[in-house]
Amino acid sequence: MKNLRKYESSGISNKKLDTYKTDKIENNYYKAYENRYSQVYENGMLWSSKENTPEVLKCVNKYKISKKDKILDLGCGEGRDAIYLLNKEYNVMAVDYSQTVIEKCKELSDNKYNECFKQFDLINEKMNCKFDFIYSIAVLHMFVLEEHRNKFLSFIREHLTEDGICLICVLGDGKQEYVSNIEEAFKKVKRTVMNNNNELEIATTSCKIVNWKNLEKEIKNNNLIIKEKWISTDVPEFEYSMCIVVKKVKKGE
């Protein structure tokens, strides 16, 4: 399947993955994305398409997300969806681990929404507010270790309002699985930038793709309920994306 990003690294077995215990690997591998953004911008390019994600707008319309509702773009990247919604006067906060990409979001939105874009590490930090709608596009598959994937999902549960929903879109066709070698995160490899035909030497980063069975298991293990799921071919830059809408488990459910 195209775009499973097996070129990210040589891959590694789940058995060996379980043996990783060092702070260096556990705490740092997902931070390689900061390096990647910096390397791309130094060459005058953008990493992603400016085209917004149709699945986000479908959920906004289907679940009647109002302009008064609190919305969180979790792992906003270059802000294509947040900027689109902010221009439509929706109440959006957009966060990403990379300070470099947050500054790029501000630049791309002509500094109109600077207070809406914030650097944030969802693995190690929490917020003091809850949201009616959270969406996260192409983020969960960046986390390889089970601990980090659980923290991602528990963060969503803890930051949803009682009736809030979350849209999660991740790389995958629901069948194939792949795990990159996190020991190679930060290693420079030649890559063609998604939004440009030029080839650069940029950070390897990380990737874990799971099938439907294992994704649903992760969701349920973190006290989230699946409202609907589907495979999308509309998420920019990916041939297939697994999309799932969840809410948190309430007492008695």
Per-residue HEC secondary structure of the chain comes to: CCCCCHHHCCCCCHHHHCCCCCHHHHHHHHHHHHHHHHHHHHCCCCCCCCCCCHHHHHHHHHCCCCCCCEEEEECCCCCHHHHHHHHCCCEEEEEECCHHHHHHHHHHCCCCCHHHEEECCCCCCCCCCCEEEEEEECCHHHCCCHHHHHHHHHHHHHCEEEEEEEEEEEECCCCCCEECCHHHCCCEEEEECCCCCCEEEEECCCCEECCHHHHHHHHHHCCEEEEEEEEECCCCCCCCEEEEEEEECCCCC
Instruction: Tell me whether residue 200 is in a domain.
Output: yes
pLDDT score of 252: 64
Instruction: Tell me whether residue 253 is in a domain.
Output: no
Print the domain residue range for 151. 6-248
For residues 249 and 224, the answer to whether their CB atoms sit within 8 Å is yes
Q: Quick: pLDDT tens for 73-88.
A: 999 999 999 999 999 9
Instruction: Tell me whether residue 150 is in a domain.
Output: yes
Q: Other CB atoms closer than 10 Å to residue 53's CB: what's the count?
A: 23
pLDDT score of 29: 87
Instruction: Tell me whether residue 1 is in a domain.
Output: no
For residues 137 and 75, the answer to whether their CB atoms sit within 8 Å is yes
Instruction: Tell me whether residue 107 is in a domain.
Output: yes
What is the rounded CA–CA span in Å between residue 73 and residue 76? 5
Residue 178 Cα distances to 3, 103, 142, 173, angstroms: 12, 32, 12, 11
Q: Quick: pLDDT tens for 154-212.
A: 999 999 999 999 999 999 999 999 998 888 888 877 766 666 667 777 777 889 999 99
Number of domains making up the chain = 1
Instruction: Tell me whether residue 134 is in a domain.
Output: yes
pLDDT score of 193: 64
Closest to 201 (Cα-Cα) out of 35, 48, 89: 35
Instruction: Tell me whether residue 236 is in a domain.
Output: yes
pLDDT score of 250: 78
Q: Which residues contact 41 (CB under 8 A, 6 or more apart)?
A: 100, 104
Instruction: Tell me whether residue 130 is in a domain.
Output: yes
Looking at residue 209, which CATH number applies to its domain?
Answer: 3.40.50.150
Residue 187 Cα distances to 99, 137, 159, 204, angstroms: 20, 24, 34, 5
Which residue numbers in the chain have pLDDT < 70? 1-27, 191-197, 251-253
Report the predicted TM-score, pTM, of the whole model to 2 decimal places. 0.88
pLDDT score of 136: 98
